[in-house]
Amino acid sequence: MKDKLALLGGPKVFDQRVESPNSIGREEMQAVKEVMESGVLSQYLGEWDPDFYGGPRVKRFEQEWSTYFRIKHSVCVNSCTSGLIVALGAIGLEPGDEVIVSPWTMSASATAAIIWNAIPVFADIEDDFFNLDPASVERNISPHTKAIVVTNIFGHAARLNEIMAIAKQHGLKVVEDNAQAPGARYHEKYTGCVSDIGVFSLNYHKHIHTGEGGVCVTDDNALAERMQLIRNHGEAVVESKGVDSLNNMIGFNFRMGEIEAAIGIEQLKKLSAIIEEKVHWAEKITEGINTLAGLRTPKISTGCSHVYYAYPLIVDSQELNVTRDNLCKALTAEGVPALATSYVNLHLYPMYQRKIAYGSKGFPWVGEHYKGNVSYEKGICPVSEGMNDSRFLNLGLGLVQLDDVKCEQIIAAFQKVWNNLSQLV
């Protein structure tokens, strides 16, 4: 009876209660208390003044972020979404420009371009690491292309050197969406610090968090200044500050408060330990399941590291003679937590299928500024579409807190399902 799958009425393997990770401790609580007692919850002014750059904790957090990631400039914002908008505005997007982006990422990676009336163009992903395929990027470059948004998905770097070389050849800017890979290594650098601008997330389910928040990084002085202006009502500051270029100086209120910055300062101190723990559990799971037939565990490219925001798996349904969806149902019934069968294919979202964003008439795809003819039909990204349709399993390590017992039970659940595949046929 114990070998009977839980999906079919047998006992489930995984019976441990699973908590969400919580890295907030006394250090963060004390830091917040000190902010509250100071009475300074934010110190930004939307005018040219020393406080245009924010309060003391925001400035300290930016400096410590720059030191940790060995980057010249860090610009705090209130979310990674805001950071992507700030970054794409800073590189000088014009209405009608095209921005190449992955379909296999969170929606903001693409919609940040639409904020500036630019057009997302979806290139396909490569099979090994789920990131943008440089060959597909190159095929999608047109006379209208201005930039590439490259996502380091699930905690592993994209093929950044190849993408940067393509960008240099065609005169394009590159923005890294590094929301899921803080602290991941790409040869001698950290991910997020290879391209023109990198954007990090401090959302509550990321490696470290401030509830909501984000950080943009760059080694370029001019890009840093433009990001600071867009973050904080740039249109009100440019004259007093002596800024001549008004391109995209429609400033927002994307400012981070002192409480979030104080939490971020303490969280950053924990990043290395958090990564070490995630790597430990991921490697333990890999050791336990990497010999199972028809199952591919995460790959790591030479010279890179993985920080495992997620633990992505590939299933060969033909070899197993069992569908991916039935495998997922069986594993979920055994109690495996945070397991999903899909990520996203952004180009298939209704907004892109109907090409409606601003108003109801099709802008920015329809109008005098856009001279291209982008397609979002199913089939333009066969690798990412195939992943979602039948091959991909996602164990969300960023969503669960593991220990030795839970990790062993996850492994046992996989082994039980694979040892009883005949019950699923």
Going residue by residue through the chain (425 aa), what tens digit of pLDDT does each one get?
A: 568 999 999 999 988 888 888 999 999 999 999 999 999 999 999 999 999 999 999 999 999 999 999 999 999 999 999 999 999 999 999 999 999 999 999 999 999 999 999 999 999 999 999 999 999 999 999 999 999 999 999 999 999 999 999 999 999 999 999 999 999 999 999 999 999 999 999 999 999 999 999 999 999 999 999 999 999 999 999 999 999 999 999 989 999 999 999 999 999 999 999 999 999 999 999 999 999 999 999 999 999 999 999 999 999 999 999 999 999 999 999 999 999 988 889 999 999 999 999 999 999 999 999 999 999 999 999 999 999 999 999 999 888 999 999 999 999 999 999 999 999 98
Q: Where are the domains of the chain?
A: 6-22+271-342+384-424, 26-267
Between CA 378 and CA 385 the distance in angstroms is 8
Where do we find the tokens 């979202």? 349
DSSP-derived letter for residue 295 is E
For the domain covering 6-22+271-342+384-424, report its CATH number.
3.90.1150.10
Compute the C-alpha angle 200/398/263, nearest 5°: 50
pLDDT for 320 equals 95
Label the pairing between strands 189-190 and 185-186: antiparallel
Question: What are the C-alpha distances in Å from 9 to residues 1, 12, 256, 326?
Answer: 9, 9, 51, 15
Cβ atoms < 10 Å from Cβ of 349: 15
Question: What are the C-alpha distances in Å from 241 to residues 58, 226, 228, 263?
Answer: 21, 12, 12, 31
Cα Rg of the chain (Å, integer): 23
The answer to whether residues 132 and 400 touch, using CB atoms and an 8 Å cutoff, is: no
Between CA 153 and CA 178 the distance in angstroms is 8
Token output for 207: 């490696």
Between CA 246 and CA 94 the distance in angstroms is 12
393: nearest Cα among 349, 346, 327, 348: 327
182: nearest Cα among 171, 194, 191: 191
Q: Confirm whether pTM is higher than 0.85.
A: yes
Cβ atoms < 10 Å from Cβ of 402: 23
26-267 topology per CATH: Aspartate Aminotransferase; domain 2 (3.40.640)
pLDDT for 1 equals 54
Question: What's the start-to-end Cα distance of the chain, in Å?
Answer: 18
> Which helix (H) or strand (E) covers residue 214, if one does?
strand 214-218
pLDDT for 2 equals 67
Token output for 336: 């495996």
